[in-house]
Amino acid sequence: MNTKNGTILLAAGGTGGHIYPAHALRKVLKSRGWNVIFITDQRGLNFRISDENIEIYRINSASLSGSLSDKLIGIFKLIFGLVQSFTLIKRFKPAAVVGFGGYPSVPTMVAATLIGCPTMIHEQNAVLGRANRLVARRVNRIATAFSAVSGIKQKYKSKVTLTGNPSRPDLVNSRQHELKKPFTILVIGGSQGASILSKIVPGAVCALPPDLRKNLIINQQCRPEDLQRVQNAYNANGITSTLSTFFQDIPKLMSEANLVISRAGASTIAELTIVGRASILIPYASAMDDHQTANAKNIADNGGAWMIPQAELTVDVLCERLISCLTSPSLLSDVGNKASKCGSPDAAIKLAESVEEIAAISRERIG
């Protein structure tokens, strides 16, 4: 492995949707000899992305939403974060700076463009996020997870490169296509679970004909306040279930599932398409710019999932869909294969190559 003796800065908001892709890119860049540094906010510092020793720095940031006083406080935090970012960039002299969205990425990306560092943003969703929108005109390149991303102005389309959404490396190793018995359903709802799934899924499962539900296995993520109620429902109907507020082994559970019921966050879509699993997607109705609907529609339009808008999700609607899945293994296999065709298991490598291409700009300047 050749040592590049250079530094790449990764700026990401402190949620899993931003942190996981950045971490996947970090692992590839490290394997190629780059020194990689994270810049995030307090949430990012607390996010458990790895047991590895990661060099990470916190800066101030805030969204510009809320009351007038909230917006004024947000402006001051962003200005302070901009000063902190200037200091870090001057200190580390990065060959490139990559932003993964979320407001904590904005000060770093603005500072990098003002200094003249090669820059790139990565958009995980099918709608350009607000933080990325703020800096899209200033960066050298825009990497996307989807082939069609709304919110990117026509004049910036020449900057766009399709890489896919980098995901956890262990997911690629979990890629399986053989559907196993007993029939297993994985229910996940984002980092904190989804109350609507805890209300509707148990009712739909328990409404299945006895011959269909008797051999089911349910692995379901729930909010703490929903755990006991959901467990009681499954127990009363003799359904084998494992419930948790957070699953550590999502790649294993997803690869073992015949069907996944989930929200439609970018990381979940990437995981489903990498593993190649059929899914029923219920987009989070209040997601920023309704990006989860755009994410779900992208894969559903390609035959790799079923999408049910939250407003249309009822026990009867979900039960009917479950019956069709349980009684048609070939249908599940077909949908899973189509989901797999939407995936990008080499997304982290593609993104790393794109980063190295823009990093060459700074090397040419030095040379």
State residue 54 phi and psi, 5-degree precision. Answer: -110, 130
Model pLDDT, residue 111: 97
> Could you tell me the pLDDT band of residue 2, with boundaries at 50, 70 and 90?
very low
Neighbours of 367 (CB within 10 A): 6
Give CATH for domain 171-341. 3.40.50.2000
At position 190, the amino acid (one-letter code) is G
Q: Which two tokens stand for residue 306?
A: 């079923």
**259-278: average pLDDT:** 94
DSSP-derived secondary structure letter, 139: S
Instruction: Report which of 21, 329, 278, 12 is spatially closest to residue 165, judged by C-alpha positions.
Output: 21
Domain 7-165+345-366, CATH homologous superfamily name and number: Glycogen Phosphorylase B; (3.40.50.2000)
Q: Given a cut of 70, is residue 205 above it in pLDDT?
A: yes
What's the CA gap between 229 and 213, in Å, rounded? Answer: 19
> Could you tell me the pLDDT band of residue 15, with boundaries at 50, 70 and 90?
confident
> Could you tell me the pLDDT band of residue 1, with boundaries at 50, 70 and 90?
very low
**149-171: average pLDDT:** 91
Residue pLDDT, tens place only, 75-112: 888 899 999 999 999 999 999 999 999 988 999 999 99
- Between 106 and 174, the more confident residue is 106
State residue 215 phi and psi, 5-degree precision. Answer: -110, 15
Residue pLDDT, tens place only, 269-301: 999 999 999 999 999 988 888 999 999 999 999
Q: Given a cut of 80, is residue 35 above it in pLDDT?
A: yes
Domain boundaries, the chain: 7-165+345-366, 171-341
Same fold, 7-165+345-366 and 171-341: yes
DSSP-derived secondary structure letter, 264: -
Q: How many Å separate Cα 1 from the centre of its chain?
A: 30
Model pLDDT, residue 87: 97
Model pLDDT, residue 75: 84
